[in-house]
Structure 1
Amino acid sequence: MNLENIGILTFLLYISIALAQGFHLFGRLTFPRWQYRVGSFLALSGHGWLLYRYIEMPEGQNLYWLCMLSFTLWLMNIITLIASFRAQVANLSSLTFPLSAISLALVMHFAGSDIMDTKAHPGVLAHIFISMFAISLLLLASLQAIFMGLQNHLLKHHKPSAILHILPPLQAMETLLFYIIWCGVLFFSGSLLSGFFYQGPLLTSHLLPKIILALCAWVLLVSLLLGRYRFGWRGPTAIRWTLSGTTFALLSYFGTKALLF
């Protein structure tokens, strides 16, 4: 089977699971967990194979920003699938899978070239993986925050919805949100530290915007965790700070990458 056929099947799997999960959220379809897990495993297998073929080149690895964005979403889906065995996070796939399908289609049709032999520079390779894990976790946190915002809105305005019966209680959603943020901040801190060691001279026109945006994201997210610990921040405040920090983190990597390439 050629790459295009694998890409089409993976795209259709992602969209089908997302639609099924969306209908499940609104109480219009029963979607057993085993079906989500089997479908997710197949979609992730196809996505992973395609990424390998588009990233791994004879002369090195293609780190073009679209490839890295799709790789980040792939990691995020893996984290979600693994976490679904312990927590009710499968609903996030109704948002993450369409994004993954679109990113995969973009890679297959518009992938550029930004080749680097990362195997010859293990420190840089470690920095890239740590950064991708950090971004994946922060993206998950932002999607969790979006679901929390929807849930909070429905409860505040006393609007009956099947979503309220599918999602865990708001307090459990909030606890999960901060757990994901803690993990994301740990990896993001590791990404910043490894970047100082392996990204070369820092104060250059090439890296300065990325560093400033990354530091803004780190300050926002750490401030959120401190505010949670010291002042009990929660609800809309936690949602706003999560989305703001994640936006800066995404811009620090993909925004600067897209502008430079």
Structure 2
Amino acid sequence: MPVPPLTVLSLASALAYALLAYAHRSLSPVATRWALGCVWLLHLLTLVLMLFAEPARFGFAPALSVTVWLVLTVYAIESRLFPQMRARWTLAGLGTVAVLLAMSFPGQHYPELRSAWLPLHWALGIASYGLIGAAVIHAWLMQRAEKAMRQGHMPETAMPLLTLERLTFRFVGAGFVLLTATLVAGGWFSEVLNERWVWNHKTAFSVLAWLTVGILLLGRWRLGWRGRTAIRTLYLGAGFLLLGYAGSRFVLEVILHRA
């Protein structure tokens, strides 16, 4: 029996991510960029086959896979502008897990969409996932750099803390805008489909994420929040956002076995 192309691409992407995570220290900067580009392309091809399959399928694992690919895209662009950034092994490890999860849990079938505009709601939500995810990666890099500086191990070629902080909040702001658009689109689709706004787990966690990220940006603007306070608030908001769709769908698909 022939192996489906999606399975082949998924295994190839996961293996490429794992090899990059394992060998990143021994690769030269040029070889690393080429390897990162190849893995990025393999993952993109996997996503194209997965998202445009017939019938359409989507769930928590494909959402995580798209999110990791978006974060990798941001990192690939930024690493050219800021060669000091070092998060390849972390992203490669996340990529391996995300691709294997999407292969194992492809999600729910959607033979017919209730609205032709529904994919826009999904796209906005996934894009907000990706931007908040990029902010979390930058916050983690900022924490690591701050710890190295306090211990006196900060290399001269390391990325400046203020630059990392500025990039973090740029991604937080962009993610907040898209998350706001996602919630507005969700309410609009409810009106178009003549449905009531349902306060389920997904809606509650998404609103909590929106409030938390909004408070973070307000605290940054009015009170100058930075350091541990800002990072912990960002992690909390990202946790709520993760639970909003991926967490809720994981419980339904894997634990409760419901569509």
TM tier relative to shorter chain: 0.7 to 0.9
The aligned residue for residue 153 of structure 2 is: 160
1:80 partnered with 2:75: yes
Letter in 1 for 2:16: L
The residue correspondences of 1:14-163 to structure 2 (distance < 5 A) are: 14-21=17-24, 23=25, 29=26, 31-32=28-29, 34-59=30-55, 61-88=56-83, 90-118=85-113, 121-156=115-150, 158-160=151-153
Letter in 2 for 1:64: G
Alpha-carbon offset, residue 153 of structure 1: 2.1
Alpha-carbon offset, residue 116 of structure 1: 4.9
The aligned residue for residue 228 of structure 2 is: 236
| Secondary structure of 1:114's aligned partner | strand
The aligned residue for residue 178 of structure 2 is: 187
The aligned residue for residue 214 of structure 1 is: 206
Across the aligned residues of Structure 1 and Structure 2, the Cα RMSD in angstroms comes to 2.4
Distance of aligned partners of 1:147 and 1:90 in 2 relative to their CA distance in 1, 3 Å threshold: closer
Letter in 1 for 2:252: L
Q: Please, what TM-score do these two structures have when normalized by structure 1?
A: 0.84
Q: What is the alpha-carbon distance in structure 1 between the residues aligned to residue 83 and residue 168 of structure 2? A: 12
Q: Is the 8 A contact 1:18 1:98 kept in 2?
A: yes
* CA deviation string 1:114-147 (max 9, x = no partner): 32545x7332111111111100111111121112
Q: Is the 8 A contact 2:67 2:133 kept in 1?
A: no
Q: Please, what TM-score do these two structures have when normalized by structure 2?
A: 0.85
Structure 1: gaps (5+ residues): 24-28
1:174 partnered with 2:165: yes
Alpha-carbon offset, residue 224 of structure 1: 1.0
Q: What is the alpha-carbon distance in structure 1 between the residues aligned to residue 64 and residue 196 of structure 2? A: 23
Alpha-carbon offset, residue 19 of structure 1: 3.6
Identity of aligned residues (%): 23
